[in-house]
Structure 1
Amino acid sequence: MTGHFFDMPELPAIPVRGADRTFPVRRIFCVGRNYAAHAAEMGHEVDREAPFYFTKSPFALAHSGATIPYPPGTGNFHHEMELALAIGKPVFRAGPEEAARAIFGYACALDMTRRDLQQAERVKQRPWDLGKDAENSAVVAPITRAAEFGAVGDQRIHLEVNGRTRQDATLAEMIWKVDEIISHLSGFYHLAPGDVIMTGTPAGVGPVVAGDRITGGIDGLDDIALTIGEPE
């Protein structure tokens, strides 16, 4: 074997606050229904036995400040504001304390969702891939290193569309805390540097259309912004 039939793109990467190097993205895991009020607005009760997950391709990554086209195949494209964790050390079958030490940093993130496709597949008890793993659906702001951010507590998390607040909560409302999420997920995967975990969204998710501008933030992290362009 001497090579590939075609060239592959480099792994997508996320900027890091105050650094001239970037964080290459290996995998993206997402936690579902991690805020009770959001679960309720989607018509579900929270599963308090264990967190559950879905995934996105690393190539779903888009950077804060981007303009992305309204995606194909949907008429109900939703925003979901989230805290993202960036893993910086290998971790496997770890307890919460060891899991917490694997965190490289934190970032604001948007889990953009084709809600109509997600719901249609859910009714048929099929995977959510068409609804969740869309191109440009994992929008991440620059990462702040864990030591600079400090402990995850009651920091405000919020999102606005065209300047009007839609989501407003605190990280203290997360059902599964960051160390618990990493510990649990490490029982199923060899987590490693480059893995990103999006930790769920608070209540207030809703649709956006072409021309809308999304802004959001979490206290202590770089803000996030996204503009929805016309469909391609």
Structure 2
Amino acid sequence: MRIRTVQSADEQVACVALADGRLARIDRVLTHGPSDLLSLLASERLGELATAIAVGVRDEDCVNADAPVSVPWTRPRKILGIGLNYGAHAGDLGEQAPRSSPASFLKGDHTIVGPGQPIIVPPGIGKVTSEAELGLVIGRTCYQVDVDEAMSYVAGVVPVLDQTAEAVLLENPRYLTRVKNYPTFFAFGPDLITLDEALAHGPLEDLRVATVHNDVVHREDTVSGMTFSPAELLSFHSQVMPFYPGDILSTGTPGAVGISSGDVVRCELGDELASLTNPVQ
């Protein structure tokens, strides 16, 4: 399934994008269903939703197919980012990819913007980069799990554009929290793509992740090029902290590109699985 949040009349509602182009409201397809995507994840009713969709959806349970797409949700309990998880990107910063354990950082929900919303480059901080990433969305509480079971806690994937104040970071690598937490420095969406839907396009390790700048592919790699796999990242960090439904684990970028006002950046997952596009101001 592909699940998104759209603006319908004067409210935002979570919908499933159906194969025939219709948008089915979750709160009408499910009995006592939630109206927002984060509550859907917290209720752990994705399986029930898939069954209801397979049975069939009435037209009166759908919204306008052209309804504007919004940010999927704005209040995850945590956004965890991974640094230098591809060797090539580590070289961009004059670093080596960590080998013994992954490097990570937390981002506040004030950094979130949705598809098509502007990424704002703050004045006076020097070079800012944008980085396409594969985001894992947690579907149920996940704490101290093994690598071989970690992906069973993942509800789905999202395209991510993660921003960095690179000039500030190069002053001191300990500034990681500072350089990652300006407003608009985390874009994701438009769809939560359930894990079964993503895997229907092929093994996750074969998934292409590309940073695209002004319609030119700047850097791309596959998930197999990560130093630490998605399952390893989730398992490792779950030993330290619990993950909750709606939390996002952004798994690192194959390459960061410098951005400035007037640019357009895009994250592409696969050739056709998903893309996220944001303008820069």
Distance in 2, Cα, partners of 1:160 & 1:59: 24
1:51 to 1:15, Cα distance in 2 relative to 1, 3 A = farther
Q: Which runs of 5+ in 1 are unaligned?
A: 1-12
Residue range with higher mean Cα deviation, 49-58 or 18-27: 18-27
Match in the other structure for 2:278: 226
1:146 is aligned to 2:198: no
1:129 CA displacement: 2.0
1:116 is aligned to 2:164: no
Count residues with an aligned counterpart: 213
Distance in 1, Cα, partners of 2:213 & 2:100: 34
1:212 CA displacement: 0.6
Residues 1-232 of structure 1 aligned to structure 2 (within 5 Å) = 18=17, 20=25, 21-23=36-38, 24=73, 25-122=76-173, 126-141=174-189, 142-150=191-199, 151-203=203-255, 205-219=256-270, 221-229=273-281
1:14 CA displacement: 11
Distance in 2, Cα, partners of 1:118 & 1:198: 19
The percent of aligned pairs where both chains have the same amino acid is: 25
Distance in 1, Cα, partners of 2:148 & 2:140: 13
Q: TM-score, normalization: structure 2? A: 0.71
Report the RMSD for the aligned CA atoms in angstroms: 2.0
Residue range with higher mean Cα deviation, 137-146 or 13-22: 13-22
Larger Rg: 2
Residue pair 2:132, 2:266 contacting (<8 A) in 1 also: no
Residue pair 2:133, 2:267 contacting (<8 A) in 1 also: no
Distance in 2, Cα, partners of 1:208 & 1:65: 16
Q: Aligned AA for 2:207?
A: Q
Q: Aligned AA for 1:22?
A: L
Q: Aligned AA for 2:193?
A: T
Match in the other structure for 2:61: none
Q: Aligned AA for 1:137?
A: F
Q: Which runs of 4+ in 1 moved over 3 A?
A: 13-17
Residue pair 2:79, 2:108 contacting (<8 A) in 1 also: yes
1:40 CA displacement: 1.6
Residue pair 2:112, 2:183 contacting (<8 A) in 1 also: yes
1:17 CA displacement: 5.5
Residue pair 2:126, 2:168 contacting (<8 A) in 1 also: no
Distance in 1, Cα, partners of 2:165 & 2:15: 29
1:113 CA displacement: 0.9
Higher helix residue share: 2
1:222 CA displacement: 2.3
Distance in 1, Cα, partners of 2:149 & 2:139: 12
**Using CA pairs below 8 Å that are at least 6 residues apart, which structure has the higher relative contact order?**
1
